[in-house]
C-alpha cells in the first residue's frame, strides 16, 4: 500500500472495511459526500490534518498511507490536541466551534496501554458537578473521537444534544439512548432517539489538580 497514492489507499481501505464513504464522512463531522468527492473527484486536493489523523487511527494505518508524514522511528512522545472547549457536567454548555490552543505531550506507551491513538484524541475541560465524584468541575478530560459507538453497557461520553456540549454517562436501549449523571442530585434526562444525540467521543482519561 505504500506505493499507491493516498486516494487509492483510502479507496482500498474503505472497500476492505465494508464501511461507506458517507458513514466515514459523518464520523469526521463532514457532509456525506466529502470522502467520495475526495477519492473520486480529487476535491479537496488533500485531506485536512485532523481528518487524516482520525481516518488513520480508525483503519489502524500510519498517516503516511493517507498522505501524511511518516512517524519518526523510535519516537516515544506524541502530541494530543488541547481545545479551548468546556463540556458541561451540568445543564449543558453551548459551543459554536472547537478552538485549538496547542498540544499536550504524552508518552506513547501510556496511550498504547489505554488502547488509544493520539490522532483521534482531544483534551477539553469539564465544568459542573453532575458527574461527581468521577469527574469534577475543572478536570481536564481526554476524549477519543474515534470511539463513538454506544453499546448497551454504556460508558462516559462527550455528546452534543440540542446544541449543548456535555459529558454524561450514555447507554443504548434499542433505538434510543439513556443519558444519566453520576451525581444523584441530578435526575436522569428523558430517553432520546439515537439520531437526536451526536456522540463526540468516549472519555478515556482525566487529569485533576490536587486541592
For 77-207, give the CATH class: mainly beta
Q: Which fold has domain 6-66?
A: 434 Repressor (Amino-terminal Domain) (1.10.260)
Instruction: Say which residue, 71 or 50, is predicted with more confidence.
Output: 50
pLDDT in tens, 63-83: 888 988 766 665 688 888 888
Residue 44: is the preceding peptide bond cis (ω within 30°)? Answer: yes
Model confidence at 118, pLDDT cuts 50, 70, 90, reads confident
What is the average pLDDT across 20-25?
90
pTM over 0.75? The answer is no
Residues paired with residue 126 on neighbouring β-strands, in sequence order = 87
What is the average pLDDT across 170-189?
95
State the pLDDT at residue 26.
86
- 47-51, 100-104, 206-210: range with highest mean pLDDT: 47-51
Q: Is residue 195 predicted with pLDDT exceeding 80?
A: yes
Which part of the chain is CATH 1.10.260?
Answer: 6-66
State the pLDDT at residue 174.
92
Alpha carbons 33 and 67: distance in angstroms, whole number: 20
- From residue 29, alpha-carbon distances to 5, 51, 121, 142 in Å are 24, 9, 15, 19
Q: Is residue 134 predicted with pLDDT exceeding 90?
A: yes
Which range has the worst mean pLDDT, 87-101, 115-129, 157-171, 189-203? 87-101
CA distance from start to end of the chain: 51
State the pLDDT at residue 100.
75
Kindly state the cell numbers that stand for 3. Answer: 506505493
Task: Name the region of 58 (left: φ>0; alpha: ψ -120 to 50; beta: rest).
Answer: alpha
- From residue 173, alpha-carbon distances to 51, 62, 151 in Å are 30, 35, 8
Instruction: Say which residue, 24 or 71, is predicted with more confidence.
Output: 24
Which part of the chain is CATH 2.10.109.10?
Answer: 77-207
Amino acid at each position: 500500500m505504500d506505493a499507491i497514492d493516498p486516494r487509492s489507499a483510502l479507496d482500498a481501505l474503505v472497500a476492505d472495511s465494508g464501511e461507506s464513504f458517507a458513514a466515514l464522512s459523518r464520523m469526521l463531522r463532514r457532509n456525506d459526500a466529502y470522502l467520495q468527492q475526495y477519492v473520486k473527484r480529487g476535491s479537496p486536493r488533500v485531506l485536512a490534518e485532523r481528518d487524516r489523523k482520525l481516518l488513520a487511527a480508525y483503519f489502524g494505518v500510519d498517516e503516511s498511507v493517507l498522505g501524511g508524514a511518516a512517524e519518526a522511528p523510535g519516537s516515544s512522545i506524541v502530541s494530543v490536541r488541547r481545545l479551548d472547549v468546556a463540556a458541561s457536567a451540568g445543564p449543558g454548555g453551548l459551543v459554536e466551534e472547537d478552538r485549538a490552543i496547542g498540544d499536550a505531550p504524552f508518552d506513547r506507551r501510556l496511550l498504547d496501554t489505554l488502547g488509544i491513538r493520539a490522532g483521534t484524541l482531544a483534551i477539553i475541560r469539564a465544568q459542573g458537578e453532575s458527574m461527581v465524584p468521577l469527574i469534577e468541575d475543572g478536570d481536564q478530560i481526554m476524549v477519543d473521537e474515534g470511539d463513538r459507538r454506544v453499546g448497551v453497557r454504556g460508558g462516559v461520553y462527550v455528546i452534543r444534544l440540542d446544541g449543548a456540549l456535555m459529558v454524561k454517562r450514555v447507554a443504548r436501549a434499542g433505538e434510543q439512548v439513556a443519558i444519566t449523571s453520576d451525581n444523584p442530585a441530578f435526575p436522569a434526562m428523558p430517553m432520546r432517539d439515537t439520531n437526536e444525540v451526536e456522540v463526540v467521543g468516549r472519555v478515556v482519561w482525566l487529569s485533576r489538580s490536587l486541592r
